[in-house]
Amino acid sequence: MAAGSGGGPADRGEIRRHPLRNLWRLRRYLRPHLAEFGWLMLAGLTSTAAGLAVPLVAQRVVDGPVARRDLTGLFLLAGLALLLGLAEAVLIFIRRWMQSSSSVAMEAAIRTDVYAHLQRLSAGFHDRWPSGQLLSRITSDLSVLRRFLSFGLFFLILNLVTYLAVVVLLIRLHPALGLLVAASAVPLFLIARRFGRHYHVASRRMQDQQGDVATLVEETAQGLRTMKAYGRGPQLAARFAADTEALHDIGIGKGRLLARTSALLGLVPNLTLGVVLVAGAAAVADGRLTIGQLIAFVSLQLMLIWPVQSLGWIIANGQEAATAADRIQDVLDSRPAIVDRPVAIALARSAVRGRLRFEGVGFRYPGNALPVLRGLDLTVEPGETLAVVGATGSGKSTLLSLVPRLHEVSTGRITLDGHDLRDLRLASLRGLVGFAFEEPTLFSMSVWENLTLGRSDASEDEVRAALALAQAEFAYDLPWGLRTRLGEQGLSLSGGQRQRLALARAVLIRPAVLVLDDPLSALDVHTEALVEEALKRVLRNTTALLVVHRPSTIALADRVALLEHGRITAVGTHTELLATVPAYRGLLSAEPAEPAEPPIARSGTGPTSDGSSLVRS
């Protein structure tokens, strides 16, 4: 699926045959709060009963004390009506208070599960999904669900009960007029049914478009430097304006649909009320209905206006919740491609020698016809450092990503000390493998938190040693030292600084296998030499697999493997390959000049609440 297409396995705007199916599947989040919901319904029904009793009391007042001019009875019934009103107000307060706590708890539970599921999904899933679509699902869509679970669902049940109770009371007061009011439910049902069908489509379109807008905003924020460097601000602004205009038009369409339906839903009870007033007045004149009964009938019928008029909002809220549930289930229904096997084992670091073997390994990205790797055989002995060299697009980074199982082999297998990597628990495997990417990711947290991401129990001395090895002592010179809070993606640091911190993070976990994907590409020649000298000491006792481009970095390796078109075509020492493999010589002779590293970022905006700071370059 192409990025920006709205995300998920379903096509944009696709509506399921049963729109409420996925909403029903979320009922498990309501179960822990069934007792609270029961008390809510009891409070709601009791307050409704108190409200329904008021017109009946009014009937007694008019036909009794008022007709007989009995002031004592009038005051007693008036006091009863006042008590009923107070009881209704107290019950409404209790209901609203309980609704807030339970709905927020349900939203938090769903958000926690969705976020945890996103962590279990493979890198391939996240490669296919626009991040803005995922963000909108875990924020705005969950807010829509919360509103429905806390208010929409409650009022749907309460208003239906109220409507039925009022109709029964009206039929008892005057059967003919009561049946007339009951018959008005038929056009209401037809209007609501048509509205629900069209509003579901509009809701899905709008929520998908909101995800696209979120994606564009996120991409613009992350690519701000590139956008400014190329002067593309006006073009991106025009693109954003077009997306937001589309969102605006969809929203206006939704608003018109809701307004038209609300008007129709309001028209039906008002027309019915007009007929009741005329027919009721005639019945009073004929003596078939008392004035008190007419007042009670009209008062009860007026109590139906809110349930009927709110029907449009409840249906709209329900359809939005149904489409939100569809979008959330799109994520939850995505099965993790890389999981632990039922008999997966854990290996202790002390028990691992570090012999890494690729046996007939092939890999193809989902949706691609051609494999990236095919029939690849390679062995890295314990304590050996093997460099993988190849042209751009030959599959080097893909090969490295198979070791911590960021992707899964399509054919063949990879073993560690004879154990198939798929037979190891993911947590155990990733605790044994240290990984540093060419484009490292640093999180919006302190330097210390970034460094200890893979090993939270690391001591200050161990962190200091890792920073020294990676030539990353500049971190102590940041405004608040290791407590300095880095900006999003660590973009407040230079590329070389980010690479050195990522390298320090990788070696800090004391891995059994160290996987480095061209981790020194952004360093200047002098810093690279210092890092390489320090790395030699670490690599003596660690199995290492490196992707490198520079001859100076290749010198770290005991052996070199040449990767061409997804296959290993030559393995040997650097000297042997230079002497015997023309393709290897040609590849190295085409290497570009060394890039210089920008200066260290020093300035900051001040400490955060936890004593850290956001660094600005």
CA distances from 559 to 24, 264, 280, 389 (A): 58, 79, 100, 11
| pLDDT (0 to 100) of residue 359 | 95
**Considering the entire predicted model, what is its pTM?**
0.70
pLDDT tens-place string over residues 382-432: 999 999 999 888 889 899 999 999 999 999 999 999 999 999 999 999 989
Terminal CA-to-CA distance of the chain, rounded, Å? Answer: 36
Please name which of 378, 382, 369, 412 lies closest in space to residue 396, comparing C-alpha atoms: 378
What is the C-alpha to C-alpha distance for residues 156 and 177, in angstroms, rounded to an integer?
A: 25
pLDDT tens-place string over residues 257-301: 888 888 888 888 888 888 888 888 888 888 787 888 888 888 888
* SS3 state of residue 290: coil
pLDDT tens-place string over residues 439-480: 788 888 899 999 998 888 999 999 999 999 888 899 999 999
What is the C-alpha to C-alpha distance for residues 538 and 546, in angstroms, rounded to an integer?
A: 13
Residue 613 forms beta bridges with which residues? 607
pLDDT at 314 over 60: yes
Q: How many whole angstroms from its chain centre is CA 260?
A: 34
Q: Enter the DSSP assignment of 336.
A: P
Residue 544 forms beta bridges with which residues? 385, 514
What is the C-alpha to C-alpha distance for residues 146 and 135, in angstroms, rounded to an integer?
A: 16
Please name which of 172, 155, 162 lies closest in space to residue 50, comparing C-alpha atoms: 162
What is the C-alpha to C-alpha distance for residues 497 and 612, in angstroms, rounded to an integer?
A: 18
Most confident option among 12-26, 119-133, 526-540: 119-133
| pLDDT (0 to 100) of residue 569 | 93
| pLDDT (0 to 100) of residue 611 | 35
Percent helix / strand / coil, the chain, rounded to 5:
60, 10, 25
Pairing of strands 513-517, 543-547: parallel
pLDDT tens-place string over residues 491-523: 678 878 888 888 889 889 888 999 988 877 767
What is the C-alpha to C-alpha distance for residues 491 and 361, in angstroms, rounded to an integer?
A: 36
Please name which of 177, 203, 192 lies closest in space to residue 266, comparing C-alpha atoms: 192
Beta carbons of 150 and 318 less than 8 angstroms apart: no
HEC string for 544-604: EEEECCCHHHHCCCCEEEEEECCEEEEEECHHHHHHHCHHHHHHHHCCCCCCCCCCCCCCE
Beta carbons of 546 and 577 less than 8 angstroms apart: no
What is the rounded average pLDDT for all residues in the chain?
Answer: 81
Query: What tokens were used for 481?
Result: 């030292």
Share of the chain above pLDDT 90, in %: 19
| pLDDT (0 to 100) of residue 595 | 39
CA angle 597, 599, 600 (to 5 degrees): 115
Q: How many whole angstroms from its chain centre is CA 474?
A: 35
pLDDT tens-place string over residues 203-256: 888 888 888 888 888 777 766 666 766 677 788 888 888 888 888 888 888 888
- Residue 489 banded pLDDT, cuts 50, 70, 90: low
- Structural domains in the chain plus CATH codes: 21-332 (1.20.1560.10), 384-394+438-615 (3.40.50.300)
Beta carbons of 604 and 613 less than 8 angstroms apart: yes
What is the C-alpha to C-alpha distance for residues 616 and 493, in angstroms, rounded to an integer?
A: 8
Q: Say which residue the tokens 């697009």 belong to.
A: 393
Residue 389 forms beta bridges with which residues? 562
Q: Say which residue the tokens 């498990």 belong to.
A: 28
Beta carbons of 522 and 494 less than 8 angstroms apart: yes
What is the C-alpha to C-alpha distance for residues 288 and 297, in angstroms, rounded to an integer?
A: 13
Q: Say which residue the tokens 């391939």 belong to.
A: 124
Is the Cα torsion angle 95, 100, 105, 106 positive or negative in sign? positive
| pLDDT (0 to 100) of residue 75 | 62
Residue 387 forms beta bridges with which residues? 546, 560
Beta carbons of 291 and 160 less than 8 angstroms apart: no
